[in-house]
Amino acid sequence: MEKYELVKDIGSGNFGVARLMRNKETKELVAMKYIERGLKIDENVAREIINHRSLRHPNIIRFKEVVLTPTHLAIVMEYAAGGELFERICNAGRFSEDEARYFFQQLISGVSYCHSMQICHRDLKLENTLLDGSPAPRLKICDFGYSKSSLLHSRPKSTVGTPAYIAPEVLSRREYDGKVNLL
């Protein structure tokens, strides 16, 4: 952890806390997702790390590394300075058709790539789509905590995700595939 310095806390959730950190050597800003360690947590987070680490696409937050402390595991990722797509929609009130298409095409590109890599996100929602800080923001899919790889794991059939976004196939507890990632 000596490699990074805290800039500010940027969020919290069931997983723990997210912090904006600065690499002391390169001055690069990164996001760190801190998760309290424990046998059950470490087993669940292993899947997130394996799946996220395997993805390299311009519309997916870049996985950088994992840092371990005696009490926490921290996933180091690219920082998306533009915040959540959800916040942008709330602040704008509505998008023009062109603006909606611009973001939707990027979302579909990222999701299609995940599927080509046999990874199902399983919690795709506006709050898990971030924007970089550029003038023409690039959409970035994040939070692979519920993700599942059909190459490494059995076909998904557990009920996971955010209730308002869950697909009917997931709720029915039948096996499903990446098609459940449609918003």
33 is in an annotated binding site: yes
Phi first, then psi: give them for residue 108, nearest 5 degrees: -65, -40
- Residue 179 is classified by DSSP as G
Please report, as a single letter, which amino acid is at residue 53: R
List the catalytic residue out of 42, 98, 123, 132: 123
Residues in the chain: 183
- The rounded distance, in Å, linking the Cα atoms of 158 and 146 is 10
Place of tokens 């969020």: 11
Q: 177 catalytic, yes or no?
A: no
| Amino acid present at 50 | I
CA atoms within 13 A on the CB side of 70: 0
Q: How far apart are CA 5 and CA 31, in angstroms?
A: 11
Outline where the chain has alpha helix (H). Answer: 39-53, 85-92, 97-116, 168-171
Task: Report CA-CA distances (Å) from 81 to 85, 119, 130, 137, 167.
Answer: 11, 26, 8, 10, 30
Residues with catalytic annotation? Answer: 123
Residues annotated in the binding site for ATP, as ranges?
33
